[in-house]
C-alpha cells in the first residue's frame, strides 16, 4: 500500500470495534447511531468517515486497471476451525478464535483471519455488472491492526449445493445479536477458486464506521452456489449491499 490512511486513533477504534464483533465487519455497538441500507448516506447520521474519498465498494473497470504479472501472490494458510456464528442484523457473520492458524500473506505481511460474512447482491461491480452474492474474508495485521479483505463473487450457476456454503447456511442462528458456538468445522480453502489472480486497491469498510485504509483483494474467478442456497441468503438479508462509491483517482491493480 503506497499511502497510509490510518491514524493511531482510527486504528485503535477499529481494533476495539472488531474485537467486540462490531461493524461489517460485524455488528454495531448498541449506543452507536442506527444505520440501514435503505438510507446509505451514513455520514448524515454521524459516521463522518463514510463521506471520505477512499471508500468501498467501487466499480472495477477492467479496461482501466494496471495489469501486472509481478504483483505478489496471496499465500493462503487456512486450516479447519469450529465456527462461531452471529446474525448481527445486517449479515450473518462467522468468527473464529483460531486466527493464528488461519491467515494470508501478501507483500511480506501476514494478516490473521478474523471473520467472514456475505452480501446479496455483490457490493463490488465489474464493468458495471453485479454478481448475485459476495463473501468477504476479513483479516488483520496483528502488528499494525491494518485490515486486508478477500472478496469472492458467487452466482447461482450450480445444479447442486455448494458444501461449504451449506455448512454456513445450516448453522444460521434463529435470533439476532447472539453468537452461537458450533461444532461445525469449516476450512476456508473450500470457498477459494482455483485461480487466485485478483484486483486490488485501497478502500474502506463497507459499513459504518467506514474506516479507510483497508487493502482490498477481489478474486477474479467466481464461485458457484445453487439457486436454493442463494434464495436462503436473500431470505435472511436481501440487498445488504452498499452503493458504489467514487474512485476519486485511486488506481486499481490487476494481477495476471
Pairwise CA distance, residues 104 & 76, whole Å: 5
Residue in 31, 34, 90, 139 annotated catalytic:
90
pLDDT exceeds cutoff 80 at 27: no
For residues 27-44, average pLDDT: 81
Provide the pLDDT for residue 32.
Answer: 82
Residues 25/150, Cβ–Cβ less than 8 Å: no
Q: How far apart are CA 130 and CA 38, in angstroms?
A: 18
The string of pLDDT tens digits covering residues 41-50 is 999 999 999 9
Give 84's strand partners.
95, 181
Mean pLDDT, rounded, for 212-218: 98
Average pLDDT of 126-151?
98
For the stretch 96-110, pLDDT in tens is 877 678 999 999 999
pLDDT of 99: 65
pTM equals: 0.88
Instruction: Give the per-residue pLDDT at 219.
Output: 98
Q: Phi and psi of 149, rounded to 5°? A: -120, 125
d(CA 221, CA 61): 16
Residue 124 annotated as catalytic: no
- Tell me the CA distances in angstroms from 244 to 25, 81, 136, one per residue in order: 18, 33, 16
Does the pLDDT at position 202 exceed 70?
yes
The per-residue pLDDT for 111 is: 97
Confirm if 111 and 138 have CB atoms less than 8 A apart: no
Which has more pLDDT, 30 or 66? 66
Q: How far is 115 from 140, CA to CA, in rounded Å?
A: 10
Mean pLDDT on 83-102 = 91
- Over residues 152-171, mean pLDDT: 98
* Confidence at residue 9, expressed as pLDDT on a 0 to 100 scale: 37
SS3 label, residue 154: strand
Amino acid at each position: 500500500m503506497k499511502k497510509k490512511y490510518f491514524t493511531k486513533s482510527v486504528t485503535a477504534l477499529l481494533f476495539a470495534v472488531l474485537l467486540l464483533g462490531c461493524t461489517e465487519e460485524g455488528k454495531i455497538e448498541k449506543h452507536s447511531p442506527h444505520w440501514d441500507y435503505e438510507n446509505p448516506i451514513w455520514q448524515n447520521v454521524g459516521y463522518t468517515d463514510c463521506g471520505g474519498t477512499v471508500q468501498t465498494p467501487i466499480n472495477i473497470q477492467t479496461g482501466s486497471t494496471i495489469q501486472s504479472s509481478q504483483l505478489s501472490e496471496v499465500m493462503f494458510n487456512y486450516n479447519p476451525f469450529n465456527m462461531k456464528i452471529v446474525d448481527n442484523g445486517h449479515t450473518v457473520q462467522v468468527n473464529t478464535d483460531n486466527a493464528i492458524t488461519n491467515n494470508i500473506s501478501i507483500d511480506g505481511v501476514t494478516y490473521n483471519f478474523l471473520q467472514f460474512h456475505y452480501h446479496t447482491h455483490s457490493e463490488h461491480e465489474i464493468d458495471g455488472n453485479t454478481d448475485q452474492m459476495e463473501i468477504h474474508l476479513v483479516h488483520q495485521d496483528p502488528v499494525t491492526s491494518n485490515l486486508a479483505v478477500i472478496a469472492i463473487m458467487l452466482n447461482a450457476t450450480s445444479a447442486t449445493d455448494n458444501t461449504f456454503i451449506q455448512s454456513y447456511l445450516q448453522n444460521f442462528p434463529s435470533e439476532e445479536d447472539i453468537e452461537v458456538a458450533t461444532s461445525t468445522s469449516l476450512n476456508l480453502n473450500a470457498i477459494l477458486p482455483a485461480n487466485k489472480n485478483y484486483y486490488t486497491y485501497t478502500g474502506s469498510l463497507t459499513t459504518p464506521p467506514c474506516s479507510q485504509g483497508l487493502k482490498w483483494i477481489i478474486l477474479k474467478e467466481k464461485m458457484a452456489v445453487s439457486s436454493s442456497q442463494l434464495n436462503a441468503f436473500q431470505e435472511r438479508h436481501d440487498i445488504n449491499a452498499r452503493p458504489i462509491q467514487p474512485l476519486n483517482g485511486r488506481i486499481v491493480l490487476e494481477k495476471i
